[in-house]
Homo-oligomer: A and B are copies of this chain.
Amino acid sequence: MGTYQRPDGWEILGDPSRRAIVECLAERPRAVGELAETLPISRPAVSQHLKVLKDAGLVDDEAAGTRRVYRLNPAGVSALRDQLDMFWKRTLQGFEEIVEDEGKS
């Protein structure tokens, strides 16, 4: 049971708004206001989500005049990808043994 404790990636992508933001930024970098227009939530809410994503290393931000452009961080994304994959590896590993055993019967 390695899973349990530690703020992992599931908490981050567990929120629909956050997933939407990530998908949105995957398409192209965007300013906060742009994101807020697209999503059904207020701009401050977007800001808060971006903070979470930034702390997790998933996005980078860059000042551009009065605007602030956010983009996906390749390293962060693949790191989180790997982290989630680890769960499946561990799970499916022991799991396939069971399936095989059932096939023998």
Identical chains bound together, number: 2
B38 x A1 contact (CB < 8 A): yes
Quick one: which of A71-105 are within 8 Å of B by CB?
71-72, 74, 77, 81, 84, 87-88, 90-95, 98-99
Cα A92 to Cα B44 in complex, Å, equals: 27
Listed in ascending order, the chain A residues whose CB lies under 8 Å from chain B are: 1-5, 10-11, 13-14, 16, 19-20, 22-24, 26-29, 38, 71-72, 74, 77, 81, 84, 87-88, 90-95, 98-99
Q: Can you name 11 A-B residue pairings with CB atoms under 8 Å?
A: A2-B23, A3-B19, A10-B19, A19-B87, A26-B95, A72-B95, A74-B95, A77-B92, A77-B95, A81-B88, A84-B84
